[in-house]
Each structure stands twice: as C-alpha cells, then as structure tokens.
Amino acid sequence: MAVRIRHGPSAAGVTPAGWPFVLCYTGTSEVNAMYRTTFAIVDLSALAHNIRLLKGRLAPGVRLLVAVKADAYGHGVRPVVEVLRREGVYQVAVASLEEALQIRAFDKEIPILILGALGVDECVVAAEAKLDVLYTDLCPIPDIPRLPRPLAMHIPIDTGMNRLGFKSIEAALRVIETMAHRADIRFAGVCTHLACADAEDVSHALGQVERLLQAVQTLRDKGCAPPLVHAANSAGLLRGEAWQFDMVRVGIAAYGYSPDPEVLPQPELHPVMHMYTSITRVADVSPGETIGYGATYTAQCPMRVATIAIGYADGFPRILSNRGMVRVRGRDVPIVGRVCMDQAMVDVSHVPEAQVGDFVTVFGIDPPSAWSASAWRSVPPEHRANWLQETFALAANEEGRNVLSLSTVAPLAETIPYEILCQINRRVPKLYVEA
C-alpha cells in the first residue's frame, strides 16, 4: 500500500504543500512538538473516497457543492479544500464572508458560495474576491454601489424552512428584474433548503421540492429562467436523483456520516476524523466512594477507574457525564462522574489489562497496535506527530480494529455528529494522513 504522509510545518509554519499541518495552540503561540496525548487524526483519503462515492450518485450533468463552513466541520478548511479541488468538486460553501476570505487567502480560484446573510459593504468585498452570495434583505440591490467586478447572486426561496428566502415568488421576481438592470450583478440561480430530507416521512420535503418547482416554472414563464437550481443537501442526495436539480449541496456526508443512519444507513461512507486520548491514572474505588465534581456517581461495588486526558474544553461534551462512553483496548467503557474541563473518568473494571498510557478511542477507529505508552515515550516530542501519522496510515488494513462511531456517541450527548465535530477545540492537534 502506498502511503503519503504530510510532514510537519517548516520554520515558516507551513508545509511544502502550503498549508498548516499540526496545529497545537497554547494561547496565541503555535507549538509543533507534541506532549499531550489528546489529538485527532484526519484521514484525507477517506474524504476523497466519500467525494467519489457521492459524485457517483449524481445524475448526469448535476454539480457537487461541498459545505466547508465552520472550519470544514472542524476538520480544517485548508487541507479539506485542497482535497476537494483535486477531486473536482464544482464549488464549496461557507457561512460568512470571513470564512470565504480565509479560503481566498490560499486559493484564488475555487468557486465559493456564502450561505449566510451579507450586508451591502460585505457584498462589495464579496465581488472583489469573486464570491457568490445569497440575496437577503440586508443587501437591497439599489443600495449596492457600482461594483469593481460582477457579483453572482443566488435567490433563496423559502419553501418551508422559515429561515432565509422569499416566501413570495412575485417578490423574488421583482428583485431579479432589478438585477437585470445592473451589469455588475448577475442572477446566478435559485435555491432552497430542505428541512426534513432525512426524516422517515418525506412528505414535508416533497412539499418543499414541489414549491420550488412551481417557483422555477413561474420564473421561466416570466422570462427569468434561473441558470442554476439547487435544493438537495446530504440527505436529499442520498434519497436519489429526483431532488437533485442542477446542483447538490452536501455537508455531513462528505465527512463520513449519514444525516440519519437509521433512516438513511450509508455504510459505504468512511468517517474522516478519529479522536484519541490516553489514560493518565488507574485507581481502585471502594463501594460508597464518589467520583468527580458534585459526587454525582457513587460506586456500588469495587471498581477500577481510569482518568483520561480529555474534557469539555477539548470539545468532549459535558452532557456525557454518567452516560457516555469511550473505548479502551477495543472495549466500550462508561464515563463515571462529571466530565471535567480537561479530564474525565471511566470505569475499566471489565478491562483488567488497562494501564496508564493506554490510548483511548474517543470516536473513530481503534488505535493501531503500534500505539503504546512505551512507544510514545520513545519518540521525541518533535517527531511524535509524524510517528502517529505513519503508524495510523500503515495500519489502515489491520485486522480486528473496530469503530466507535459518532453516530453512536452523539445521541448519548443529545446531539448530532455535526455539533461534536465542530466543537473540537483548537488546542487539540489535527494530524493529516493520506493512505
């Protein structure tokens, strides 16, 4: 198996490929050596696999847009965009002008659509940076000054989400007609967002699709045929071709998860991120003793309790207190007591071989067999990132490695994988691997 390893930053803080690699923040300083054993592995080959899989489900001529807002759902926008360019994605989407400009700083050409509402001043900057935008009430066409280059503007139609867009197609038509008098503003298309595409009952989504079809037909009848129509999100794409229109906007599916694995199981998707920590203490706890802040857990029998080096400041949800789990030596172990800011405790009574230094799966695939406390200590801190990358990539086909999926963990935290991925703190280094 050929393995491509991304090496750590040069003195300038960037790799030869041009993007930051291992980012470990202490305050505002960037640290390249690794000391703390809490980190995430981002498998860019899994991202490429998912993109190819999703592109294979597109109807002929349909384009693929991938959402990279929120730092590419926590995965790191720069390396993700690099892969998307290589895989031939038509466009990427972000939530704000700031996110778009962050991409423009390293990629001058990739088409970018800003999905959030922009004001007049922001539209001027967007035009200068060659960014597509959504029309909203914050940027009335008459208020936008003459622009240095044409601005591509998409018209959102509110078909049932009640978030952004026109409820009245007549109002949308008036704006489109106003655009027609401006050589510096281009009508780029119409779109909507499906609120319930991942629901078992598809009636709401079908109603939205029908309302969008009616709106598009009205525009065509009035001589304002949209150049591009887009509505489907990840769930919409996974439903089939009927909802695809001219372009599909995927988010979570690109990063390896179905929007709802029970309704739309997608075992072919590969999770892109894997998160790990380690055991820092193992102790016996007697019946009647309590564990953690607030003494919310009381031992009912003799226990072995391990402390792990991760807490809510890393993005490990506090709501997992006394209800979540991690994986130690291939076995699920429950969290006992409250999740602290930087640490948590787990019951390893049924994992008698668990010991200080063991790597722990927070979510993702089990760690490679090469990862051990002694191996970690034997590697100099400045080389640990590369060691972790190499051993992870080389173990891609190792037998017997299980997956603790975020689709399992997130419901325990009363949330969805999207939120946990986006909340991983900047102090958690991300190591990028391509196998």
**pLDDT level of residue 97 (50, 70, 90 thresholds):** very high
Across the range 381-395, mean pLDDT stands at 93
Name the least confident of 178-192, 224-238, 353-367, 393-407. 393-407
Active site residue: 25, 55, 69, 108, which one?
69
φ, ψ for residue 375, nearest 5 deg: -65, -45
Residue 265's pLDDT is 84
What is the pTM assigned to this prediction?
0.91
Domain 273-434 belongs in CATH node 3.90.230.10: no
Does 304 score more than 70 pLDDT?
yes
For residue 87, how many other CB atoms are within 10 A of its CB?
A: 18
Does 22 score more than 70 pLDDT?
no
d(CA 311, CA 96): 29
**Does the annotation mark 69 as catalytic?**
yes
Across the range 89-99, mean pLDDT stands at 98
Residue 141's pLDDT is 95
Active site residue: 35, 73, 293, 430, which one?
293
Residue 31's pLDDT is 54
Could you list the residues known to form a binding site for substrate, using ranges: 163, 341
d(CA 141, CA 157): 17
Query: What's the mean per-residue pLDDT of the chain?
Result: 91
Residue 272's pLDDT is 97
**pLDDT level of residue 4 (50, 70, 90 thresholds):** very low
Q: CB–CB of 46/271 below 8 Å?
A: yes
Q: Is 164 left (phi over 0), alpha (psi -120 to 50) or beta?
A: beta
Report the percentage of the chain scoring pLDDT > 70: 93
Across the range 164-168, mean pLDDT stands at 94
Domain boundaries, the chain: 42-255, 273-434
Q: If we measure between CA atoms, which residue out of 154, 100, 407 comes closest to residue 273?
A: 407
Q: Which amino acid is at 273?
A: M
Across the range 316-327, mean pLDDT stands at 98
The domain 42-255: what is its CATH number?
3.20.20.10
Q: If we measure between CA atoms, which residue out of 147, 155, 74, 65 comes closest to residue 110?
A: 65
CB contact set of 253 (below 8 Å; sequence gap of 6+): 50, 54, 234, 237, 238, 259, 266, 269
pLDDT of 338-349, one tens digit each? Answer: 999 999 999 999
- Locus of tokens 């419901």: 411
- Two tokens, residue 186: 């281009």
- Two tokens, residue 378: 């034997």
Name the least confident of 123-132, 316-325, 399-408. 399-408
d(CA 77, CA 96): 14
Does 6 score more than 60 pLDDT?
no
Q: CB–CB of 308/343 below 8 Å?
A: yes
Q: If we measure between CA atoms, which residue out of 107, 110, 108, 151 comes closest to residue 128?
A: 151
**Does the annotation mark 293 as catalytic?**
yes
Q: Which amino acid is at 424?
A: I
Across the range 86-90, mean pLDDT stands at 97
Indicate if 273-434 has the same CATH topology as 42-255.
no
